[in-house]
Amino acid sequence: KEQQRIMMFQSLEFLIFFAAVSLLYWILPCRLRKYWLLVASYGFYLSFTPQLIVYLLGITLCSFGMGIAVGINRKKAAGLGRWTLALGIVGTVSVLLVVKYAGFAARSINTVIGLLGIQATLPQISLMQPIGISFFTFSAIGYLVDVYRGKRQEERNIFSYALYLSFFPIILSGPVERSTNLLRQIDHPTEIRFDTYHIRRGLLTMTFGYFLKLVIADRIGIFVNEAFANVATQPGCFLALAVAGFGIQLYCDFAGISYIAIGAGEVLGFSLQKNFAQPYLAVSISDFWRRWHISLTSWFRDYIYIPLGGNRKGKARKCINTMIVFLVSGLWHGAGWTYIIWGGINGLFIVLGDMLKPVRLKLIQLLHIQPDNAGNRFFRRAFTFIMVTFAWLFFRADSFQQAMEIMHRILTQWKPWALWNGSFWQLGINGANLTVLLVSLLMLLIVSLKAEQGKDWRDLLLKQGYAARLTVYMILIFSILIFGLYGPSFDAASFIYVDF
């Protein structure tokens, strides 16, 4: 959090930078474009952590060299290829483990040592964490595995590979790109054509991301932060709203930065992975995780769950593999026990849902329930939202003790009359802000329901006449400029997922 972040996506500096990069990118000859993007990407990264770029360079060189070795050795002998792959993964991931988790491991071991009454402690390690390290490390590991599996040839152009890991729209917080997608496009620059339709669609996608972030997420964040900062004085109904609000805040914040990244990539002619698919319209926890942070969830599936055996080795092994994946997912999000508990809760929900599925199907049959009718889907969506929100409590809480205190106050100090006695307005949200928030959430709901029906508002809009398109453009832009949160309290470094 001490790092410089003058070029976060919502800053004026980034908009000027992006416009200049895009303009020169399309002017340059095709063969030079990736080199320009590489220079721009490293310049972008240097604006955050110039002294820590050595980590990006180190992981790039290590995984590039090991990728060549994996590609050569797997053709000689399967065993040799596996050992080379293992060495490459260890070398790549070791930096992430030391930088992000060494301090957490030392604190946890010291706590256990203290409980055992042993008079000894491990030294505390506190290293500055390079921004985006979790994302470009996972992309590098995915590349090594893809080469080993024969899904792609080892990359021989260091500049192409360096751009793959450092591509500026995604280096902050994803999507976690695959070599079979982004690196393939970098390797075939002649396939990327100047297309005004995709440029306009990309700019619309970016604008929608800014709307989610600045108009919705940051506005909800005022209430959520105030409630979590003063748990002991809040009635249970406020805390329940704050936990639910955090789930929406996190979605709009992270989906917002994902839309900006994907839109920026589209302006530059690249097709990046979709990262969200209306997650709060999910009808089960499993369905939720097929829709939330899709690039990371699919990464865990392909590179951890399936290699562990997936669901191919019996029910018990499937449950264990599921729990491992979600515990690792929790740890990936943060070096703290609350994140691990959050991951464990989601894994447990999925395991229980899988175990109880035959019972649920039997009840549906006995009670003659139509699984796909509107009423049943509404109930399942509401129940899923409640379960997901419960898990978010541990994700947001500063400590396990705070999470327990919030749960206790929700159960014992509900006090619903606080919603009408004026106390709510003391949490930073006034009537005007609440109106803007509710209208914005209604717009998001309409867009999500249309997307659920297979109708993308961007494609529908771009098919309209000039006057209709211009009207919507102006409404979106002025909504962000007028209702987005700026001013003295504006924090240009406030994208939540950047810190993961």
- Judge whether 296 and 174 are in contact, CB under 8 Å: yes
List the alpha helices (DSSP H) in 211-280. Answer: 218-229, 236-267
Contact 182, 135 (CB under 8 A): no
Question: Which whole-number Å values give the CA distances from 347 to 232, 306, 340, in the listed order?
Answer: 30, 16, 10
Q: Is the dihedral of CA 266, 268, 273, 276 positive or negative?
A: negative
Q: How far is residue 280 from each of residues 104, 197, 209, 387, 445, measured CA to CA in Å?
A: 32, 30, 17, 11, 10
Q: For 45-63, what is the HEC assignment?
A: HHCCCHHHHHHHHHHHHHH
Annotated catalytic residue 333: yes
Q: How many Cβ atoms from other residues are within 10 Å of residue 366's Cβ? A: 8
Q: Which two tokens stand for residue 33?
A: 């474009």
User: Per this entry, what is the length of the chain?
Assistant: 500
Distance separating alpha carbons of residues 209 and 494, to the nearest angstrom: 14
Retrieve residue 83's tokens.
Answer: 């050992």
Q: 188, 198, 333, 368: which is the annotated catalytic residue?
A: 333
Token reading at 424: 């709510």
Residue 280 sits at φ, ψ, to 5 deg, of -85, 5
Query: Quick one: angle between helices 196-210 and 236-267, nearest 10?
Result: 160
The helix or strand, by DSSP H or E, that contains position 380, with its residue range, turns out to be helix 374-396
**23/337 Cα distance (integer angstroms):** 46
Q: Which residue bears the tokens 């797997």?
A: 74
Instruction: Decide: 169 and 264 in contact? Cβ < 8 Å.
Output: yes
The residues assigned a catalytic role are 333
